Amino acid sequence: MSVEQSAAPTVTTGGPTVLARMRGTEIRNLGLVAVLAVLVVIGAITSENFLTGDNLENILVSSSVIGVVTVGATFVIIGGGIDLSVGAIVALASVWATTLATQSYGPGMMVLCAILVGAGAGLVNGLLISYGRMVPFIVTLAMLVSARGLAARLADNRTQIVTQQPIKDLATTDVLGIPLLVLLLAAVAAVGWVLLNRTTFGRRVFAIGGNAEAARLAGIDVRRNTALLYVLSGTCCGIAAIMLLARTTTGSSTHGNLYELDAIAAVIIGGTLLSGGRGTLIGSVLGVLVFTTITNIFILNNLATETQNIAKGLIIVAAVLLQRRANRES
């Protein structure tokens, strides 16, 4: 008898056939959408400025930089790794792309430089982890410290001003009424989604994160694919660095501070297992949106950053608790 009761649908929207066809991850993403909806309601009630076009745009733009970083972090975490160095790589790329020498070659070179620096730092991470057989946590921790150090030296501890107008324009351009930065995030997320869900590489990432030994014994080159994960994460950091240059019009060794924590938190809230092998990009992007929306609500209500941080911490814990329940049921 208790079976019939517990088997009754817990969500009544959408009808039973749709629900039955959905996988656990999709149901979880639906949960995140619901959380977002609740936040929007809270925002609308507590502040009359929340539901304005400008503010919603603001939320999306604030999500764009960390969003791109989170896309890369999602790959790494699904692949069973962790990348603590994302914030530092963003800083290094932002500084390297804004040195007088780089800027003198024009905006194209700045973009190329940021992406190459990001990918290069990621490659160092990846090689040390896969071929050097070191623990991801340690390697990327070392990169976190040294990349920021290198950035500070390169910049001589000064903030470098972006002089190239086209770069600054990135932050102010709209395409079809949507800010370019938001479109960039959408583009990176879309490419990431295809890579993760429609290619052999994506399949291997899941396999390596889920069971590296099984992947190896099935003839998959675990080391090369693991190294690629960190290159991918680093490349995302390079792209994020350019977006940050556009928003702040500066390159600085203090950019991207604590991005690693925000990115990892968003990935976890998005339902990706920290132990690897399972997760979705859509969840991660929703996770970022949840975070930025909360920040936005706090700012609109003039609440202190300290309170904000406490709330964020609570939300991470709550999200993981909820997911554990969802996992048990699925």
Partner 1 sequence: MDDDVLLRMRGIVKEFPGVRALDGVDLDVTAGRVHCLLGQNGAGKSTLIKVLAGAHAPDTGTLSWQGEEVRFSSPSSAIHRGIATIYQELDLVPGLSVADNLYLGHENASAGFVRRAAQGEAAQEVLKKLGHPEIPVSREVGRLSAAQQQIVSLARALARDARLIVMDEPSAVLAHDEVANLFRVIRDLVAEGVAVVYISHRLEEIRQIGDEVTVLKDGRTLASGLPAAGTPTQQLVSLMTGRPVEYLFPSRPRRTGSAKALLDVENLSLEGKFESVSLSVAPGEIVGIAGLVGAGRSEVLETIYGARRRTSGAVTMGGRALPAGSVRAAVRAGMGLAPEERKSQALLLGEPIVRNVSLASLPRMTKVVPGWLDRRREKATAQEATGELEVRPGDVTRTVRTLSGGNQQKVVLARWLLGDTRLLLLDEPTRGVDVGARSEIYAVIRRLADQGMGVLLVSSEVPEVLGLADRVLVMREGRVVHTAPAGELDEHRVLDLVMEGIVG
Q: Which residues bind partner 1 (CB under 8 A)?
A: 2-3, 6-7, 198-204, 206-207, 210-211, 213-221, 277-278, 329
Query: Smaller CB distance to partner 1: residue 216 or 247?
Result: 216
Q: Minimal distance in Å, beta carbon 326 to partner 1?
A: 13
Write out the two tokens for 213.
């030994």
How far is 196 from 204, CA to CA, in rounded Å?
A: 9
Task: Please give the DSSP secondary-structure letter assigned to residue 175.
Answer: E
Token look-up 């501890």 returns: 157
Q: Minimal distance in Å, beta carbon 59 to partner 1?
A: 34
Q: Minimal distance in Å, beta carbon 26 to partner 1?
A: 14
How far is 17 from 21, CA to CA, in rounded Å?
A: 6
Q: Minimal distance in Å, beta carbon 3 to partner 1?
A: 6
Q: Minimal distance in Å, beta carbon 197 to partner 1?
A: 8
For residue 95, the Cα-to-chain-centroid distance in whole angstroms is: 21
Query: Smaller CB distance to partner 1: residue 172 or 199?
Result: 199
Query: Smaller CB distance to partner 1: residue 163 or 275?
Result: 275
Closest Cα to residue 90, out of 136, 153, 142, 144? 144
How far is 216 from 225, CA to CA, in rounded Å?
A: 11
Q: Minimal distance in Å, beta carbon 330 to partner 1?
A: 9
Q: How far apart are the first and last CA of the chain?
A: 20
Query: Smaller CB distance to partner 1: residue 247 or 278?
Result: 278
Residue type, 113: C
Q: Minimal distance in Å, beta carbon 255 to partner 1?
A: 33
Residues in the chain: 330
Query: Smaller CB distance to partner 1: residue 169 or 329?
Result: 329
Cβ distance 136 to 104 under 8 Å? no
CA count, 13 A, side-chain hemisphere, 158: 7
How far is 251 from 264, CA to CA, in rounded Å?
A: 24
